[in-house]
Structure 1
Amino acid sequence: MASNKTEITTRGRRSKVDLLPSAIRKKLDAGLRDGSISQVELLEEINALINTAGLPDDQQLSRAGLNRYATKMEAVGKSLREMREITQVWTAELGDKPTGEVTKLILEMARSQLFKALLNEDGEAADVGMIKDAMLAVQRLESAAMASHKREKEIRTAFATEAANAAEKVAKTAGLTADAVSLLKKEILGIA
């Protein structure tokens, strides 16, 4: 029963890695990405940095804690690599399609990955900081989508204007009346 109580009290609590100062955490992340030293050596290095920073002894990382974090980071890395591969395949597939379609696809994939990141493997709720960061990411994605849509619309308008002006010159050269030229230009621009 005591171990059951421990599980309840630790559920939702941030891990020791999450509580590390950013400089130490960056060093840990870099060591895991690099892979040039073993986890045992990395653990010793990180715990030495924790001591040097004057953090309490209970902030020391354990082998199991480091292994859990490394496993989690590898899963995230694998997911990102898979997403990049899928994006490359779809971008190659849609290479001759309008830019807006590719952008929409990439934004949808990013939203999907963000949603997956919010789902914790243990079924626990994500921490408030992660939710806040996720919401900011969603806001930025939506802003990027709106900017892309606006730019696409501007390009279409500019193209229509160029086409209308070219058609006007040709129509005048061909001897059409001013009313016919005006009607042709309005039709190209989509003006009722």
Structure 2
Amino acid sequence: MARASTIDKLPADILEQLQTLLRDPRVTQIDATQSINEALQHEGYDITVSKSAVNRYSMKMEDVGAKLQQSREMAQMWIGKLGAAPQGQVGKLINEIIRTMAFDTAMHMSEGEDPVPLKCWLN
């Protein structure tokens, strides 16, 4: 069984700092690692993150971001077919259901699983 990543052990505020650093194209992963380790030390935590842990986390977040973008594109396609201007709360709810279905389908397919059958959503 794999060990939990040190990233998973980070306090919420420091994890948020890491995410902000990784989104900034001017900050390298090495700089982000150093900054997070300094923040951990400054706040008195007895853990550090490695460059490889930050790299793995960054790659995982990029993958999730790409899947989210794909699901948004898929949802936009379906919303375009069903009508882009939802009428009232029911229309907004249907659009949100379509977005969620598209995201779940993209996640399942990217993991090599069969897409979620439509009947699962209808029950």
Please say whether Structure 1 and Structure 2 have the same fold, judged by a TM-score greater than 0.5. yes
Matched, 1:112 2:100: no
Q: CA deviation at 1:29?
A: 0.8
- Residue 74 of structure 1 corresponds to which residue in structure 2? 62
CA-atom RMSD in angstroms: 2.8
State the SS of the aligned residue for 1:35: coil
CA contact (8 A) 2:71 2:99 kept: no
Paired residue for 2:52? 64
Q: Which runs of 4+ in 1 moved over 2 A?
A: 96-113
Residue 135 of structure 1 corresponds to none
Partner SS state of residue 61, structure 1: coil
Could you list the per-position Cα deviations for residues 88-122 of structure 1 after superposition, in whole angstroms to 9, with x for gaps in the alignment? 12211211798375454334324435x64xx6x9x
Matched AA of 2:31: E
CA distance in 1, matches of 2:24, 2:69: 16
Amino acid at match of 2:5: S
Report what 1:48 is aligned to: 38
Alignment of 1:1-192 (within 5 A): 8=1, 11=2, 13-56=3-46, 59-95=47-83, 99=91, 102-112=95-105, 116=108
Secondary structure, aligned partner of 1:83:
helix
More relative contact order, 1 or 2 (CA 8 Å, 6+ apart): 2
Counterpart CA distance in 2 for 1:96 and 1:74 is: 28
Structure 1's 87 and 96: CA in aligned 2 closer, same or farther, altered over 3 A? Answer: closer
How many residue pairs were aligned?
Answer: 107
Distance 2:97 2:80 in 1: 15
- Shift of residue 35 of structure 1? 2.3
In the superposition, relative to structure 1, how do residues 49 and 95 fare at CA in structure 2: closer, same or farther (>3 Å)? same
Task: Name the TM-score, length of structure 1 as normaliser.
Answer: 0.48
Q: For residues 53 and 94 of structure 2, what CA distance do their matches in structure 1 show?
A: 43
Whichever residue aligns with residue 6 of structure 2, its letter is K
Unaligned runs of 5+ residues in structure 1 are 1-7, 122-141, 146-192
Give the structure with the higher percent helix.
1
Name the SS for the 1:80 alignment partner. Answer: helix
| CA distance in 1 between partners of 2:40 and 2:71 (Å) | 34
